[in-house]
A and B are shown apart, each in its own frame.
Chain A
Amino acid sequence: MERIPYIAVLVVYAVVLLAHLLPSAVPAGLRERVRLVAGVGALLHLATLAEEAVFSTWSPGLPEALSACSLGVMTAYFFVAHGQQRALGILLAPLAMVALGTALVVPHATVSALDQTDGLNVWLPIHLALLFAGVAGFALSSAVGVLYLYVRDALKKKRFDRIGRLPSLESLDRIQFRSMLFGFIALTLGIGAGGALATASFQESWALDPKVLYTLAVWFWYFVALQARLILGRRGRWTANFSIVGFGAMVFSLIGLNFILASWHSYG
C-alpha cells in the first residue's frame, strides 16, 4: 500500500472526528463544512485505491479490504450527515480511522484465490465494490442502531439530560433500516458477482467455500431482519439488535475468518 496518501486521508478523517468531538478546537469555517471535508477525504481515499488498482501490480488482501471498509464508512457518513449529526460523526469517523489505520500496519497478504484469477476479469472489481458498499451500509446501520438503543434507553429511563441534541427515534430507525436495506441489496449483488467471478475463473466448485457459506449465513441473518420488519412490522430495537450483531459478524468475516479457515478468500 502507498503510505503517504493514506496517511493524508487519515489526517482528514481525524479532522472530521475532531470537528465533532471538540467543536471549539476547530475553526468555525471548517466546523460548518465538516461534511465537505469528509467528502474530500473520501474522494482522495477512492483516488488512491483506484490508482493502486489501475497502475500497480495490484493484489488485494487484508489491508485493501480494511481500506475499502474505511472508505465505505466515510462515504456512508458523507451521505447521511446532514446538519448537526454530531453523534454520527463521533461513531463513524473513528470506525473509518481504525479500519484505515489497521490497514496501514497489518502485513500484506493476498487473497489466495486471486492467484488463479485472471487479472482482467471484469467481475473482480464489481464483486469487491458491491461487497464493500454492502459493508458500508451495514456499518452505518449498526452505528445508527447503537445510537437508537442509546436514545431509546434514555427515554425509557427518563434520563432526558442524556439525550441532548441527538436525532429523534423515528429518524434513527429510518436511517438504520434504509442503510441495512442498501447493504443487503449490495451484498446480494456482490455475492452474485462473486459467483460469476468464480464460474469464469476457477475450475473447482466454489459454493462450499467456508467464507462463502459464512457470508451466506450473514446474508440470511439480514434477510430475517428485513423480513421481520417488512412483514411483521418489527422495527426499532429489533432492527438495531439485528444490525449490531450482523455487522459484528461481517467484521469477523472480513478480518478474523480469513485467518482461521482455509478458504479461497484466506490471506496468504
Chain B
Amino acid sequence: MTDIIVSFIIAVIVGLGIGGGGFFVIYLTLCMNYGQIIAQGTNLLFFLVSGISALFIHIRRKSVLSRELLFIIAVTLPATALGAHISDFTDPKIPTFFLGALLIISGIASAVRTVKAFIKEKNEKN
C-alpha cells in the first residue's frame, strides 16, 4: 500500500514538472533499501510511465515539437546509451554521489528561481 501511495505522489510531482525525476530513486534507495543501480533502472521505467501520461496532457494543450527539440533528442540518445553502459560497471557509490550533488544543485537553482519570481511579482504589485 505504501508503494502505491508514494508512487502516486511522486508521479504527480513528475507531471507538475517541479523536479520529481529523482524522487523514486531516493524512495527506493533510502526507504526500500534497493541497490543504487537497480533503483536507477526501476526509476527510469517509473518515469516513462508517469511522464508519458503527463505528456499526453501537455501535447493536447500546445504544440511542443520544434527543430531544436528534435535536434536535442537526436543528440541525447547516443549519449544516454553511453552513460547507461558506464553506470553498469562503475562503483555504485559514484552515481550515488553524483545524484546527490545533482539534487543539491537543482534544488538550489530551483529555489533561487522561485524566490526571484516571488520578488518580481511583489515588485510588479507595488
Q: A and B from one assembly?
A: no
